[in-house]
Amino acid sequence: MSVSNIVKFREADLLQEEVIVLKDLETQVGNDFIAVKYNSNYDKDQNHFWFDVDNFRVVKLDLAHTNLIKIPEPVFKLSHLQELYLFTNEIENMPDSIGNLRSLKNLRLSNNKLRNLPASLCKLSNLESLDFNRNCFKVFPKSVCELTNLRILSAWSDFNKNSNANEFRSLPESFGNFVKLEWLNLNRVGLEALPESFGNLKSLKILDLEDNNLTRLPESFGNLYSLRECKLRKNELTSLPKSFGNLLSLRKLNLMHNNIAQIPSSFAFLNPYLYLLMDNKRIPNVPDGVREKFPRNSAFRKKITYTLD
């Protein structure tokens, strides 16, 4: 790297090749960028275009709220980019050239009109965080399942309220590839079933599957040994798998607004300090061990019968 190739741009020191890309982007989006590191008073919550720099290269780029219909090609020349924000636009297609951004760790695509993601996405082997909430997917993109280093994945939507929304009635078996995933949000996407491979997500700590159409959980669900918070509110569950008692790390469980009629005896193995949310409706035939473990839960209480002398 030659010092002569380093120039000043928006108060930031950048390689000449990076400046050429940013100037091209400014022309295409019709606005100037701000280098956040050199503007301490800049508020990232405002709708401005910004970038950040490390070692004279652009590592963060924000093109959110820019009414983009497609992603400008110069973006894909920023080979050292680690974070890319494209949320709240009108983007309909993701080009194959997304695979050029192999240093990318954080990609935010929420509130767009995407219907699919290209196979080249799997080249983003360093990606750790991905969100594509409120888009137009009708099946879960299989290319996402190749991103095995993901730690955060969010694709929640408004399926019950908006026909133009993510709709994943099922998930592919390859969903089990997310062995490093720690945080998952698939709230309101119309899910009816989980694959047996879901149990492979053994690093998962926070799970949000609220407001779906799940009628059962796979037996492998009990393999989620790291799970600390589980949100299953507003589904159609009638029972829990026998393996549920294996979730010894669980600290918060929301089962409100389901149709639970049966609790497995293994439920008694859960942490006694579990913050448990359930409907007040009494569940018949609760195992004694469960009732003793959670004596304050009204759904587990015995039915009291009165006799007249």
Of 24-28, 138-142, 193-197, 198-202, least confident by mean pLDDT is 24-28
pTM (predicted TM-score):
0.91
Token pair listed for 68: 């983009």
Is residue 295 very low, low, confident or very high in pLDDT (cuts 50, 70, 90)? confident
pLDDT at 305 over 50: no
Strand ranges (E), the chain: 6-9, 12-15, 34-35, 50-54, 57-62, 83-85, 106-108, 129-131, 152-154, 183-185, 206-208, 229-231, 252-254, 275-277
Rounded to a whole number of angstroms, the CA Rg of the chain reads 24
Is residue 306 very low, low, confident or very high in pLDDT (cuts 50, 70, 90)? very low
Mean pLDDT, the chain, as a whole number?
90
Above pLDDT 90, what percent of the chain?
76
pLDDT in tens, 36-95: 665 555 555 455 689 999 999 999 999 999 899 999 999 999 999 999 999 999 999 999
Token pair listed for 1: 């790297």
Task: For residue 31, give the 3-state DSSP assignment.
Answer: coil
Residue 265's nearest CA partner among 306, 300, 213 is 300
pLDDT at 304 over 50: no
- What's the pLDDT score for residue 155? 98
- What's the pLDDT score for residue 11? 86
pLDDT at 1 over 90: no
Bridge partners for 51 per DSSP = 35, 61
pLDDT in tens, 173-215: 999 999 999 999 999 999 999 999 999 999 999 999 999 999 9
For residues 14-34, average pLDDT = 91
- What's the pLDDT score for residue 300? 75
- What's the pLDDT score for residue 302? 64
Bridge partners for 275 per DSSP = 252
Buried/exposed 53-69: b ≥16 CB within 10 Å, e otherwise: beebbbbbbbbbbbebe
Give the integer Cα–Cα distance in Å for 94 and 117.
Answer: 6
Give the integer Cα–Cα distance in Å for 213 and 186.
Answer: 12
Bridge partners for 130 per DSSP = 107, 153
Residue 53 is which amino acid? V
- What's the pLDDT score for residue 280? 79
- What's the pLDDT score for residue 16? 95
- What's the pLDDT score for residue 296? 75
Which CATH homologous superfamily contains domain 171-309?
Answer: Ribonuclease Inhibitor (3.80.10.10)
The owner of tokens 């079933």 is 193
- What's the pLDDT score for residue 267? 95
The backbone torsions φ and ψ at residue 37, rounded to the nearest 5 degrees and listed phi first, read -65, -25
Give the integer Cα–Cα distance in Å for 136 and 167.
Answer: 8
pLDDT in tens, 230-267: 999 999 999 999 999 999 999 999 999 999 999 999 99
Residues of the chain with CATH 3.80.10.10: 1-127, 171-309
Give the integer Cα–Cα distance in Å for 105 and 59.
Answer: 10
Is residue 35 very low, low, confident or very high in pLDDT (cuts 50, 70, 90)? confident
Q: Which fold has domain 1-127?
A: 3.80.10
Task: For residue 46, give the 3-state DSSP assignment.
Answer: coil
Residue 149's nearest CA partner among 105, 84, 102, 208 is 105
- What's the pLDDT score for residue 39? 53
Token pair listed for 197: 């491979």
Cβ 50 vs Cβ 33: under 8 Å: yes
Tally Cβ neighbours within 10 Å of residue 30.
9
Give the integer Cα–Cα distance in Å for 95 and 14.
Answer: 27
